[in-house]
Amino acid sequence: MHIEAFRAYCLTKKGVTEGFPFNKSTLVFKVLNKMFALTSLTAEEFKVNLKCNPEKAIELREVFESITPAFHMNKKHWNTVNVDALNKDDLFIELLNISYDLVVKGMTKKDKKLLLAM
């Protein structure tokens, strides 16, 4: 998957916005102001930080060399996926969906209701 397809897919999800809250080169996708995906626009390889439940995060790191503890994130809950090296678009989309769903699951009832109404 290329970064343009990644961006387009993220923006199809309900309540998602994109922005550059940290610097001009780190693209962040949020659902109702909660991050679920981050990527660098200047890195040589296309890598994305995604949220993951702790047990699954460890399992993925053991199976795939292209999935590592996330750089500059809580390594218990975030993985960095080297999308270029992974070369499995279906798995990447699954991990992206898991990240989005985990963030939505952790929202308040009020925010969940707001998201549902969108």
The mean predicted confidence, pLDDT, of the chain is 95
Q: Contacts from 25-28 at CB under 8 Å and sequence distance 24+?
A: none
Q: Give the chain's domains with CATH numbers.
A: 3-117 (3.90.1150.30)
What percent of the chain is modeled with pLDDT above 70?
100
Tens of pLDDT, residue by residue over 14-68, are 999 999 999 999 999 999 999 999 999 999 999 999 999 999 999 999 999 999 9
CA–CA gap between residue 38 and residue 85 (Å, rounded): 17
